[in-house]
Amino acid sequence: MIPYETTHLILIFKEKKLDLIKISHPLNAFEIAKRISFQKQKSYTRFIVRLSIAATAISVAAILITLSIVNGFQQTVSNKVYAFWGQIRISSVNGAPLEANASTVNNLSAIKFVKKVTPFLNQSTVLSYDQDIEGVVARGLPTNAPTPFLVKGRGIQNEKDSLSNEVVLSDQLATTLNITIGATVRLYFLNLGDVQQRKLKVVGIYHSGIEDYDKQFILVDIKLLQQLNNHFNQIEGYSIALKKGASIDKVNDEVQRQMPANWVSTTIKDYYPQIFDWIGVQTINRNVTITIMLLIAIVNLLTCLFILMLERIPMIGTLSALGATQNFIRQVFLYQASIICWMGIGLGTTLGIGLSYLQQKFGWIQLDESAYFIKTLPIEFDGIQIVSVILGTAIISYCSFLIPTLWIKKIAPAKAIKFD
């Protein structure tokens, strides 16, 4: 505070005039910063302050929107792959069929973060309906396994231990071959040189949005494929679904320790590196965008503070003449910059979260599903990231504010008062 007893005046220079505003308490840095930032009269300072608040708000909002979009995109696409294959796949070292092992399944199910262990068996086949045929892969799953991406009808069911003569197709295959729910299709399997035919009823339609899956796979009862191979205990492997928050690599290491000889566990990321590498690229794009927006916010605030200090040179000289220290004057401008910074952060946070929530709720922005695997731009909030953006922007801004305030010590009071 300024050490004087006889007067309680805030001296504010506006253009070439000296305004005296009476107050009933000792002068302090925050009071001066508040008054020069939010003068009711129209002034250049008022415009600069509002412009800086708006620029900071836009930068913070852009960062939050970028984070929510990238989080949503990465999580949605990853979950689509995981829903079809699980996070971890178990198979033989040489690719040969496995013998289902109940004790191994029990041991795997007991591992922390393992949600479900599902056996599967894939076999190439030809799908025929009326005069149309299509080469596909029949993916055999237990009838108690959930049907991924089901959009119409139901999953495969059976009675007790009997096999099910039902099939679930993708909407892409159903549209291509003009197949509807309730229709009967034929599957032709080649086993040991013989062609075997099975008639199956279509009971459901799925849609993953990943063209390679929708075009290639149909879902059948695993017992049907085991019967064709005359081996009811034969599987291709197990898919392991994990609980939310699990570290896939750590769980995979634990799973591998439970494997019998010649069995190997592999993460789905290693099976489909092209998809997950593409997802990883979004992190780089996100970081570049955030860095650019942070630089814009910091440069904007620094420029604003320099301009405000230049405009207030007469005030700096007057405060120095009244006995104010350089630290006191520096506090005035740090408070002013802080007010601008926090108002910008507050408005930006509200704008960023608000726009993201509206997209999450109404899904106004649509995407090309053939290119991005999803129809609607996904949004995913992360509370830790939001808090980190708010605090990180504030901390970086505070550190940056110290640079222009160092210039104050070079201002001579006598020359500053005469400054035009």
The tokens for 89 are 């796949």
pLDDT tens-place values along the chain, 420 residues long: 444 333 344 444 444 343 444 433 445 777 776 666 665 555 566 777 788 888 889 999 999 999 999 999 999 999 999 999 999 999 998 888 898 888 888 889 999 899 999 999 999 999 999 889 999 999 999 988 889 999 999 999 887 667 889 999 999 999 999 999 999 999 999 877 788 999 999 999 999 999 889 999 999 999 999 988 888 888 999 999 999 888 999 999 999 988 888 899 999 999 888 889 999 899 998 999 999 998 888 888 788 777 777 776 677 666 666 666 767 777 777 777 788 889 999 999 999 999 999 999 999 999 988 888 899 999 999 999 999 999 988 888 887 777 766 665 555 555 555 555
Residue 163 makes CB contacts below 8 A (sequence gap 6+) with 221, 223, 224, 227
- Reference 326, options 412, 393, 263, 250; nearest CA is 412
What are the domain boundaries of the chain?
Answer: 9-77+277-417, 114-244
Residues 48 and 226: their CA atoms lie apart, in Å, by 75
- Reference 217, options 149, 276, 289; nearest CA is 149
What's CA 18's distance to the chain center, in Å? 53
SS3 72: helix
The structure's pTM equals 0.80
Residues 67 and 287: their CA atoms lie apart, in Å, by 9
- Residues facing 127 on adjacent strands: 134, 187
